[in-house]
Amino acid sequence: MKLRRYGTTGRLVSEVGFGGLQLGNQQDWKAMADPEAIALVHEALDRGINFFDTAPNYGRGKSEELLGKALLGRRSEVVINTKFGHTADGRTDYSADTLRASVEQSLSRLQTDYLDSILIHNPPFDVLDGKHGHYKVLEDLKSEGKILAYGVSVDSTRDMLEVINKSSIGVMEVMFNIFYQETAEAFKLAQENDIALIIKVPLDSGWLSGKYNSKSTFEGVRSRWSPEVISKRSDLVEKIQFITDKETTMSMAALRFILSYPEVSTVIPGVRNSAQLIENISAGANVMPKDQVKKLQELWETDIKFQNLGW
């Protein structure tokens, strides 16, 4: 597993990380049993993954709890990123005066005395410039040693520029993948400011796994796509078949596209079983050819950029 710098924290992180959304999540997926989830985290560690991403609302706190149990005795080996804004009881609360309590609760569930990083979790645009006091609280927590770095999780270049220009954050989690390349416009500026970039939704909510097509049906969180959007996405999947071959699945290629950007610190695909874990890790074994990267960038500019694909 290749390692990359994690901003100014002094830490190195595995370029392929572990997205913890599925751990204990009974709301959107059939939850794996606790021993199975813990074993999966252990396998990830043993295979070289050291970056784990979670949040209080993932599994209503269960994701953090399972990571805490799995990482007991191995805390020094890993980098943990969690979030603030979506609570473990299903509410949304971005009030700055609840931030400290949220961090303390995450520390308790994770069974650790510090977080490597914490992000304000997809907040309203009005929160990003810090005028409501969030960054002051986070600086206090940093000075107390409870967090090493802080930042935001956002979805657009507009959001990224607002934060970069009006704060001193050290970490940013952004949505970016073959079908959503808009945020790449701010990657260089983030790098110039030594901001660690975590890439979320790397497989475009499963479309870049190659397992969906125009006849696919969806339940739960993925029922948001209209028949028109499903048709558009299916057509795009067909257009990018050139990135696959006998040894390269679409998932692997999708992750390699993201890792072709040197500004990226780590990418966090979701993990539900050992087979997915191994496939994710295999993405790092090779790099995407430059001509393929260029073709995918051109496809975004000509065929995708102005389409309404939802997310």
The dihedral sign for the CA sequence 12, 169, 119, 305: negative
From the CB of residue 227, how many other CB atoms can be counted at a distance below 10 Å?
A: 8
Q: Which residues of 32-49 are buried (b: 16+ CB within 10 A; e: fewer)?
A: beeeebbebbebbbeeeb
Task: State the Rg of the chain over Cα.
Answer: 19
β-strands 51-53, 18-19 pairing: parallel
Q: Which residue type occupies 289?
A: P
Q: Are 152 and 159 in contact (CB under 8 A)?
A: yes
Which of 58, 150, 180, 212 is catalytic? The answer is: 58
- Please give the structure tokens belonging to residue 125: 């645009």
Query: Burial, 306: exposed, middle or buried (Cβ in 10 Å; 0-12, 13-18, 19+)?
Result: exposed
Active site residue 58: yes
Nearest by Cα to 15 from 262, 233, 297, 247: 262
Q: Produce one character per residue of 240-272: b if its CB has 16 or more CB atoms within 10 Å, e if not.
A: beebeeeebbbbbbbbbbbbbbebbbbbbbbbb
Known catalytic residues are: 58
